[in-house]
Amino acid sequence: MDKLFAAFGDLKITSFRDLLGKFGLADLPVGHMYGIAGGIFVFAVTIISVLVLLVKGGSLTRIAEQAQGEGELAARMLTDRTALRKQRGLLLERLIACRDYLLQAKAEAVLSEEKSEYPHVTEKLLNFDPKLPYDEAGVDTPPEVVDEDSNAVVVPKPGRMVSDMQKILSTQKKGDAAEVTPEMRVYETHFIEAYRACQDLPGGKILPGLPEARFEAYARSFAAAPDNGGTTAKWYRRSYGRMYEALSCRTHGEEGRFRKLYQTRPRDIVGRTVRLEPLEPARHAEELALATCGDAHGKDTEYDPMDVWGFLPYGPFHTAYDMAAGPIFDRKSGEGGFAIVEHVTEKVIGAILLHSDDPKNLTIGIEVPVTKPTCDGTVEHMEACFLVMDRLFAYGYRRVHMSCDSQDAIARKVPGRLGMTQEGLVLKDQVVRDANRDSLLFAMLNSDWDKGARTFLFGKLHGDAAARADRLNLENGEGDDQKTASLKKQAERAKAKKEKAKADDQTKKQK
């Protein structure tokens, strides 16, 4: 201490130059001195500011409280956690109704003594079959109609177009009350509603000689789309009906083709390039095996079957028997499947499977479609996924997910094309063919679907003009009567025009 006092005893600083002299810096140029002074000042201000913020801002106090687990912060954190839980958004009433209906339908399917022809997941996605009185050959034969006044049976003249709804009414008039189910009553109500809406505003030009073709096409597709106890979104039935109307009424030949198809297979989900048929071994196993076994078939040349089955835990299947006995047709509880049938060739080009159905949480999974290699990335491939996803979201599902092998470069592109979001990578998720599989997870939420993903995909499948028409149809929100919405918009424009003219007159008077 004596040495320290001796060393600093004669320390006298009367100026900044004296301070620099003590450090041997007195001979520096003036500019350098001011630079050093400025640096010291900035450093001192920074340190002081940080200390003030730590003390005045309460950071030091909070750090101490967190370390000790005491004080007001701990209580506030518990309160905020509970409050945040209460502030979470609740489901919409429509989604709650959808969930309740789907859970009830699943329970009834499990407890029912009569086993359905198809798995429950497949069954609920199919269109409603009104069981119209067509003949076995599927020919559009006009049925007998009972005249209410004379009580006589009237047979329409050959060639006369008789609407599908007239056929239902004829069945009821004949006294077959036992065959008229509540679902048929709903079908009748929806048919009449859609028929009148299409009469007011058809989606395209009327076919010459077939004035009712468009009205019937729109009405039968709108009415056949599942109602699910009134929970299915109405916008979906409108969109599906308009798409079917435009597709089936392009020409006279197409009208006849789709009418007969509806008579023989009313439950199929119809798209522009493909339709989805519920998987049936007797109907689809042979064609699906031929399309995916790698052998030359039709216009397809020979290829390596592992291009289709290499990343799947089953396959390839070279015979109809092996295919029918495989997992594709053996769907378990919570699973379903559809055959993808191409419109142009009427051939099965693949299958799309569903799994992990969870009505309680309104989630379900879709597998990457199993198709022949020439269909990878095509419109048919994408539309099959779109038809299933669109119907699932219309039913009230909130999340549709898809997973694939992280090394499968072709399968990884499918969810990207559909607009799904990659959620993560699950390491060592499965063992496939005695090898490790890391799975990529993708998902589409109902909010993303409604906010633009559906419109984007619809445009890619049907064209921009059809996408604009579909968007306007959905935005009307006036049920199915587009004419009402159009008249309302005209009235609003006329009212705005009158108000503007009135305002201009007042301005002129003031001037």
- pLDDT attached to residue 238: 92
- DSSP SS3 for 276: strand
- DSSP SS3 for 198: helix
Cα–Cα distance for residue pair 397/236, rounded to 1 Å: 13
Determine contact, residues 404/439, Cβ cutoff 8 Å.
yes
269 DSSP β-pair partners: 276
The beta strand positions in 313-453, using DSSP E, are 336-342, 348-358, 363-366, 370-371, 399-405, 421-432, 435-445
- pLDDT attached to residue 138: 41
Q: Which of 372, 363, 437, 368 is nearest to 403 (CA)?
A: 368
Both tokens of 352, joined, read 């799309």
Antiparallel, parallel or unpaired: β 370-371 and 399-405: unpaired
Both tokens of 62, joined, read 């909070």
* Relative orientation angle of helices 409-417 and 379-395, to the nearest 10 degrees: 50
Cα–Cα distance for residue pair 13/462, rounded to 1 Å: 87
Phi, psi of 47 (to 5 degrees): -60, -45
Cα–Cα distance for residue pair 425/193, rounded to 1 Å: 48
Q: For the chain, what is the total number of helices (H) and then of strands (E)?
A: 21, 11
342 DSSP β-pair partners: 274
Low-confidence ranges of the chain (pLDDT < 70): 5-14, 16, 65-82, 84, 113, 132-179, 476-494
Count Cα atoms within 13 angstroms, Cβ side, for 278.
20
- DSSP SS3 for 363: strand
Q: Which of 183, 190, 189, 168 is nearest to 241 (CA)?
A: 190
Determine contact, residues 338/269, Cβ cutoff 8 Å.
yes
Q: Which of 39, 60, 37, 57 is nearest to 49 (CA)?
A: 57
Phi, psi of 427 (to 5 degrees): -75, 140
Cα–Cα distance for residue pair 224/219, rounded to 1 Å: 8
Q: What is the CATH number of domain 271-466?
A: 3.40.630.30
Determine contact, residues 174/148, Cβ cutoff 8 Å.
no
- pLDDT attached to residue 73: 53
- pLDDT attached to residue 498: 76
Is residue 321 within a helix (H) or strand (E), and if so which, with residue range? Answer: helix 320-325
Count Cα atoms within 13 angstroms, Cβ side, for 141.
10
- pLDDT attached to residue 245: 94
Cα–Cα distance for residue pair 350/340, rounded to 1 Å: 5
- pLDDT attached to residue 483: 44
SS3 content of the chain, % helix, strand, coil (to 5): 55, 15, 30
- pLDDT attached to residue 491: 57
Please report, for the chain, the start and end positions of each structural domain, with discontinuous segments joined by +: 127-267, 271-466
Both tokens of 322, joined, read 């092996």
Q: Is the peptide bond before 143 cis (omega within 30 degrees of 0)?
A: no
Q: How confident is the model over 45-87, as pLDDT tens digits?
A: 999 998 888 888 777 777 776 666 555 555 665 566 667 677 7
Q: Find how far residue 242's CA is from the centre of its chain.
A: 18
Measured over the CA atoms of residue 414, residue 420, residue 421 and residue 422, the dihedral's sign is: negative
- pLDDT attached to residue 165: 59
Determine contact, residues 418/412, Cβ cutoff 8 Å.
no
Q: How far is CA 282 from CA 168, 329, 352, in A?
A: 31, 10, 17
Q: How confident is the model over 8-23, as pLDDT tens digits?
A: 666 666 676 777 777 7
- pLDDT attached to residue 11: 66
Both tokens of 487, joined, read 């008249």
Kindly calculate the radius of gyration of the chain based on its CA atoms and give it in whole angstroms: 36
Q: Which of 296, 295, 300, 299 is nearest to 317 (CA)?
A: 295
Q: Which of 291, 355, 321, 277 is nearest to 118 (CA)?
A: 277
Q: Find how far residue 81's CA is from the centre of its chain.
A: 33
pTM of the model: 0.74
